[in-house]
Structure 1
């Protein structure tokens, strides 16, 4: 009355799918689509080209050409990834500088402006130290609050920057004349000359980072120059200095 059910099924074994792709299927598709690799060059690096035996002293140039193409595609992919990463970093830096400029414009007094420059800018720009200095004439600088602005020796800015308006330095030790007690944190820095007007002393805007290569020669300085111009105009406005 009962039929033999046969041996128990192996639930761990999966039957082979009837529509499994075979090597012949791939070959047939490539024959029907001879431009497949032209349309999909991204798969070339995964292919291993055959090396033909052409006899003694004869090289298979096609093999080397394919190998070279694979290397070029890999290099282009690396360059593309680097370009995307650089573009994202530049956009992030631009957004930070724009936010910093708005903070400077929102200052409600000169004291508030100095606090924004020496405290808030470091946070907004993801740095460790920000400093503002002016060269003194007789040890005292008119209109400047010594508690927020560092008084520098005459000629100090030219000694650092020479004829340049922006200087980037890597793998350095921060100067106490610029950063005070925060000098020990500084391992790379960006220094920007401030032109506060014909009747005002030379100024210096400084940003320091504990990362030795955060700033280094060769980096673009357009955003730093823009931020320095905002600082210059803000100081002139609050101190009623001629431009």
Structure 2
């Protein structure tokens, strides 16, 4: 069943709900602005409201495009991380692989592993990463660059720091890039966290293999 709504009912509704168009600014795109004979003030008011509605719509589109771009970047990084993990499986020197092979596979400028007790104070990695395990840093401080990137510090205009669970010594993967962020958003952090766990698993595997060799000797 359909009901006929006359113009008087619409007028009454708008009078009773003066903020209706404010809550639904998308409707302005379908309305014709008032002509000047209806008065300068009314015309200017409607033009201002139409302009605001268009600005809101443009802002919503921009936010959607930014979010979509972030999701695409996170998906691309996840693919590259999987390639890195597959390449890592057959490595016997993880530190060498991280420094020389990982940057090219991941599409960044430099990477390195840093351990507490080997140039890093005890507790410094927990202080850096907290409970999250991954820190995306769009502008690392000069102190962080010196401490975690060594000779690659000038390349670390953007960085990411990833916890690597590798036995009793706390370890962090330091990633550096000159001209863009290493990763962005939750998807990027999750992908890098998986990479850190894979590197840690590989380090633990190699450590157990060395222990078995020593035990046999």
Q: What's the counterpart of residue 114 of structure 2? A: 133
Please tell me whether the aligned partners of residues 34 and 46 of structure 2 are also in contact (alpha carbons under 8 angstroms). Answer: no
- Please, which of 79, 89, 92 is the counterpart of residue 76 of structure 2? 92
Task: Name stretches of at least 5 consecutive residues in structure 1 with no aligned partner.
Answer: 1-40, 137-149
Q: What's the counterpart of residue 186 of structure 1? A: 156
Instruction: Judging by fraction of residues, say which structure has more helix.
Output: 2
Q: RCO greater where, 1 or 2, for CA within 8 Å and sep 6 or more?
A: 2
- TM-score (structure 2 length as normaliser): 0.65
- Structure index of larger Rg: 1
Map residues 67-78 of structure 1 onto 2, 5 A cutoff: 67-78=51-62
Following the alignment from structure 1 to structure 2, what is the Cα–Cα distance between the partners of residues 62 and 164? Answer: 49
Task: Name stretches of at least 5 consecutive residues in structure 2 with no aligned partner.
Answer: 1-25, 212-217
Please tell me whether the aligned partners of residues 188 and 208 of structure 1 are also in contact (alpha carbons under 8 angstroms). Answer: yes
Q: What's the counterpart of residue 86 of structure 2? A: 102
Please tell me whether the aligned partners of residues 165 and 196 of structure 2 are also in contact (alpha carbons under 8 angstroms). Answer: no
Q: 1:223 aligned to 2:191?
A: yes
- Please, which of 38, 56, 66 is the counterpart of residue 54 of structure 1? 38
Matched position secondary structure for 1:179? helix
Q: 1:157 aligned to 2:125?
A: yes
Please tell me whether the aligned partners of residues 74 and 185 of structure 2 are also in contact (alpha carbons under 8 angstroms). Answer: no
Q: CA deviation at 1:227?
A: 0.9
Q: What's the counterpart of residue 122 of structure 1? A: 103
**4+ long deviations beyond 6 Å:** none
Please tell me whether the aligned partners of residues 35 and 43 of structure 2 are also in contact (alpha carbons under 8 angstroms). Answer: no
Q: CA deviation at 1:225?
A: 1.0
Q: CA deviation at 1:239?
A: 1.0
Is the alpha carbon distance of 1:154 and 1:84 closer, same or farther for their aligned partners in structure 2, counting shifts above 3 Å? Answer: closer
- Please, which of 129, 145, 149 is the counterpart of residue 175 of structure 1? 145
